[in-house]
């Protein structure tokens, strides 16, 4: 059967973890062989240094910025506003700028390592619109999220298709956070001609577009497709292809997502405090097993229930395994509804491949979905994951994503037949 006819669920099922599969394939890698995690175009391309005092520059920079550099035994790691499975950062960001004062109309690559924009394509009467929203012109910004998948598959093999999509959703969440801080509305778009765009952007099989975010004035005007192909530049210093991932991407790109009315979230975050939260966001590695307040937990749940600004949608249900929340009975919840009482901390620790954070946190959350489009569902799970990171950190609560768990056994705990897309944990 052609890969385009295979469902996203088949690819999800093919990458499930079980106790036995993890024992048989513990998946150790040599850290010294890690491919490069930054894409850089040749030095002769025109660049714009991003100045955080310039509102437009700040808006773009904060979608992807390096916020901390840490040195480990195998070298320095540059941590960013968006978390990533294994800190491998497969995602890249490109932004089309049209009719923005002081900037050449064009498509730019966000060069994260050097905090600058690289002009890779100058617009005339063409642009990205015809691939994404034909018949429209966007005066403003079109952000494209892409994945250089080998950065992740180098370590996680076939299961990295999940992490690429989740990381893409997290990066969309970082774009949304920057838009909030700069008083700009954005719309996420998942259903568009990604395969044609990959080809015209010169990505070959080494990188692929996953989603876009639009911010600006939308006009009725036909914009033609890119008149020239963009020269290919690899996002890694070496590359090994993975046919499973390439097939999974293509198949889940061609399936349509569910549709909904576009609605924007209404957040009440203090912008100065939220700005600092974006800069300070980190993934926690251990908890002190302390309680969080019921008020804070309910605030987190409320923010997760806010609208996601997109017409392409897959519903995500969130289960919370409450371990240590003041005034709440330990047990499994959907929102504020207690599904079953019990102390499941040891169980969640086991389910998350014996990761102590899933046992010691205040709440372990699992995102599940009965989706039409797997790629969209995973990205929305990642988008909500970014919202959870920022909301909990805003309240002084720590957070971490968990992409590795025993899939079928986790479904049994949750008493659901829907696929488990993501795990997360919050606590102190």
- Each residue of 245-301: pLDDT tens digit? 999 999 999 999 999 999 999 999 999 999 999 999 999 999 999 999 999 999 999
DSSP string for residues in 235-281: SSSS----HHHHHHHHHHHHSPPEE-----------HHHHHHHHHH-
* Helix or strand holding residue 388 (H, E): helix 374-394
What fold characterizes domain 280-427?
A: NADH Oxidase (3.40.109)
User: pLDDT tens digits, residue range 328-373?
Assistant: 999 999 989 999 999 999 999 999 999 999 999 999 999 999 999 9
Instruction: Classify residue 16 as exposed, middle or buried by CB count within 10 Å of its CB (0-12, 13-18, 19+).
Output: middle
* Helix or strand holding residue 59 (H, E): helix 55-61
pLDDT band at residue 2 under the 50/70/90 scheme = low
Residues of the chain with CATH 3.40.109.10: 29-254, 280-427
For residue 333 the two structure tokens come to: 């919840």
User: pLDDT tens digits, residue range 382-412?
Assistant: 999 999 999 999 999 999 999 999 999 999 9
- Between CA 108 and CA 128 the distance in angstroms is 12
Q: Give CATH for domain 29-254.
A: 3.40.109.10
Residue 305: is its pLDDT beyond 90? yes
- Between CA 239 and CA 357 the distance in angstroms is 33
Question: According to the model, what pLDDT value does residue 116 have?
Answer: 98
DSSP string for residues in 303-317: HHTS--SBSEE---E
Q: Are 415 and 174 in contact (CB under 8 A)?
A: no
| Cα–Cα distance list, 399 to 128, 136, 230 (Å) | 36, 40, 39
- Between CA 38 and CA 57 the distance in angstroms is 20
Q: Are 206 and 233 in contact (CB under 8 A)?
A: no
Question: According to the model, what pLDDT value does residue 318 have?
Answer: 98
Q: What is the mean pLDDT of the segment spanning 198-209? A: 97
For residue 95 the two structure tokens come to: 């932004």
0.75 cut: is pTM over it?
Answer: yes
């Amino acid at each position: 059967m052609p890969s385009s006819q295979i469902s996203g669920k088949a690819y999800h099922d093919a990458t499930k973890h079980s106790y036995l599969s993890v024992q048989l394939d513990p998946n150790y890698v040599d850290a010294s062989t890690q491919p490069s995690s930054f894409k850089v175009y040749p030095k002769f391309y025109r660049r714009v240094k991003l100045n955080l005092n310039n509102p437009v520059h700040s808006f773009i920079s904060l979608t992807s910025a390096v916020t901390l550099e840490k040195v480990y035994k195998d070298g320095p790691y540059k941590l960013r506003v968006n978390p990533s499975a294994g800190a491998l950062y497969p995602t890249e960001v490109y932004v089309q700028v049209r009719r923005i004062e002081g900037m050449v109309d064009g498509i730019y690559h966000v060069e994260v390592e050097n905090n600058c924009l690289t002009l890779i394509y100058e617009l005339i009467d063409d642009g990205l619109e015809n691939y994404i929203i034909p018949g429209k012109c966007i005066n403003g910004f079109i952000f494209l999220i892409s994945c250089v998948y080998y950065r992740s598959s180098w370590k996680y093999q076939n299961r990295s298709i999940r992490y690429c999509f989740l990381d893409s959703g997290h990066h969309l969440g970082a774009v949304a956070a920057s838009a909030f801080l700069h008083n700009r509305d954005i719309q996420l778009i998942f259903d568009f001609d990604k395969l044609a765009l990959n080809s015209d952007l010169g990505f070959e099989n080494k990188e692929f577009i996953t989603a876009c975010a639009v911010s600006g004035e939308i006009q009725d005007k036909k914009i033609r497709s890119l008149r020239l192909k963009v020269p290919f530049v690899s996002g890694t210093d070496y590359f090994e292809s993975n046919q499973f991932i390439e097939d999974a991407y293509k198949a889940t790109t061609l399936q349509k997502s569910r549709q909904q009315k576009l609605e924007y979230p209404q957040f009440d975050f203090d912008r100065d405090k939220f700005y600092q939260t974006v800069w300070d966001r980190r993934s926690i590695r251990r908890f002190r097993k302390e309680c969080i307040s019921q008020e804070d937990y309910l605030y987190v749940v409320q923010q997760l229930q806010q609208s996601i600004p997109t017409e392409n949608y897959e519903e995500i249900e969130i289960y919370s395994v409450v371990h240590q929340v003041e005034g709440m009975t330990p047990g499994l919840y959907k929102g504020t509804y207690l599904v079953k009482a019990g102390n499941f901390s040891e169980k969640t620790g086991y389910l998350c491949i014996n990761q102590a954070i899933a046992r010691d946190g205040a709440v372990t959350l699992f995102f599940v979905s009965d989706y039409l489009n797997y790629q969209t569902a995973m990205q929305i799970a990642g988008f909500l994951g970014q919202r959870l990171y920022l909301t909990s950190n805003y309240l002084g609560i720590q957070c971490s994503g968990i992409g590795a768990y025993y899939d079928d056994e986790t479904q049994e705990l949750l008493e659901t037949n829907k696929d488990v897309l993501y795990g997360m944990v919050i606590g102190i």
